[in-house]
Amino acid sequence: MPASNTLTLMEVFYSMPPVPRKGVRVFNRCRPAVERDNAKRGSRVRMALGTLALVTLFGPLVSCTTYPVPEATAVNPETFPQPLPPQAPPVPQELPPPATENRAFVTVDGVPQYRIGPSDVLDVFVTRGPTQERLQVLVRGNGRITVSFAEAQVDGLTADQAAEEITRKLSVYFRNPQVDVQVKEHNSKKVSILGAVGLAPRGGIGTVPLTGRTTLLEVIAKAGGLAPNASLDRIRVTRGSSSYTVNLYRFVQEGDLSQEFILDAGDVVFVPERVAGEERRVFLLGEVKKPGPVPFFPSMTLSELLGQAGGWTDYARFDEARVIRGNLNSPEIIAVDLARLVLKGDRRIDQLLRPNDVVFIPRTPIGDWNALMAQLRPTLEIISLSLQPVVLYETIRD
């Protein structure tokens, strides 16, 4: 180790005369023998020389020391986190068929009846001979009630079935007892509802008790009805891990019984608001003078839509008209002979329209509908994605 060089530098470091600096006091803690009154030094010069001394002193030690260097690890690009592949939007689950029973009700002899559960309050009328006694009992958490001297399990039973069970229990103590049961308070089965309804005008959550077989429309009515900005065609019902989209508009306006959704205990109903600026429309395309979007109104028919077409061209083939409805990936295509409606006034053809329906009147007979759909698809995609009030269609030429 070059100690001589280091000592020489250290001697230079500590033997430097003090350089007075006005207003600055530097105490030299590295040399305790130096008196405080000689502590003023040229700090910058000393720091530079001190650093040089330390490097000279310890530099060889550092250079002679060998530290283990971790070996390079080959990186497999396949082990890198890969971006998730794009996923298709979830396909809405088909609505279940109207239930004949669930946790809230059961159908007995064709009549739906409420199923009793914990926290319900029952009125029990017991007749023994000339005397009648009225008892108000609470169904306990274990589903049992106590009537006079008897205890009965009534969880899951209808009122009539509960009366039979209580009668059987009381027969041990009384001769020919007569029992009638009525549900006074329905507390055991409830659904939650939120969104654009009366009970939750600010987005809060309301609860509605089920009193038997209860439809979605009945629950909305009990919740104070729909708000003016409610969207009827995409109401969401969540049941456990399943979720359903209900088009209540089709049920109310068109009587589509497939949309009559029966609710069960624990269901959560969400009624969305219409998006700001959203307007219901139908679209008229093809051989008409004013193709494009037309504002939709409830109970709108084909003839009312054609009345806003501004007339049609000489090439319009009304007998080949089509109504395109629903998802573009699997649209419902309805053949409509508008010639019978336009030329003969046949009102049986004048069917109801739905929001976002596309009515297409071609100029030639449609031989290959798949080929025509391939041509129409870009326009239909624009309609379904943007729904902007502009003319979206040009007549398909031969």
**Are 117 and 188 spatial neighbours (Cβ–Cβ below 8 Å)?**
yes
pLDDT for 70 beyond 90: no
pTM above 0.75, yes or no: no
Burial class (CB in 10 A: 0-12, 13-18, 19+), 134: exposed
What is the CB-side half-sphere exposure of residue 51 using CA atoms within 13 A? 5
Q: What phi and psi values does residue 380 have, to the nearest 5 degrees?
A: -65, -35
Q: How far is CA 205 from CA 58, 138, 193, 209, in A?
A: 73, 27, 6, 13
237: tokens are 């019902």
**Pairing state between β 268-271 and 190-195:** parallel
pLDDT digits (tens, 9 = 90+) for 89-130: 444 567 777 788 999 999 999 999 999 999 999 999 999 888
Give the homologous superfamily in CATH for domain 116-185.
wza like domain (3.30.1950.10)
Could you tell me which CATH class the domain 281-385 is placed in? alpha beta
Instruction: Report pLDDT digits (tens) over 297-345.
Output: 878 888 888 888 888 888 888 888 888 887 666 778 888 888 888 888 8
* pLDDT for the residue numbered 379: 62
Greatest mean pLDDT among 48-62, 260-274, 278-292: 260-274
* CATH 3.10.560.10 domain position(s) in the chain: 190-271, 281-385
d(CA 386, CA 374) in angstroms, rounded, equals 19
With cut-offs at 50, 70 and 90, classify the pLDDT of residue 254: low
Q: Quote the pLDDT of residue 160.
A: 96
Q: Look up residue 104 and give its DSSP letter.
A: S
Q: What is the pLDDT of residue 369?
A: 63
Predicted pLDDT at 14:
47
From residue 157, alpha-carbon distances to 46, 112, 161 in Å are: 97, 12, 6
Report the distance separating Cα 301 and Cα 245, nearest Å.
Answer: 25
Q: Please, is 166 exposed, middle or buried when counting C-beta atoms within 10 Å of its C-beta (0-12, 13-18, 19+)?
A: buried
Q: What is the mean pLDDT of residues 67-76?
A: 41
pLDDT value, residue 279: 62
Compute the average pLDDT of residues 195-208: 71
Categorize the per-residue pLDDT at 278 as very low, low, confident or very high, splitting at 50, 70 and 90: low
Residue 139 has pLDDT above 90, yes or no: yes
Q: pLDDT higher for 253 or 247?
A: 247
Residue range(s) of every CATH 3.30.1950.10 domain in the chain? 116-185
Please give the pLDDT value at position 140: 96
Place of tokens 């939750």: 200
User: Is residue 29 pLDDT above 80, yes or no?
Assistant: no
Cα separations in angstroms, 43 against 18, 169, 304: 9, 104, 96
> Can you tell me the distance from the alpha carbon of 145 to that of 154, in angstroms, rounded to the nearest whole number?
7
For residue 21, pLDDT over 60 is answered with no
Which CATH number is correct for 190-271, 3.30.540.10, 3.10.180.10, 3.10.560.10, 3.40.109.10?
A: 3.10.560.10
Separation between Cα atoms, residue 149 and residue 121, nearest integer Å: 19
Highest mean pLDDT (candidates 83-92, 187-196, 241-250, 325-334): 187-196
DSSP 258: G
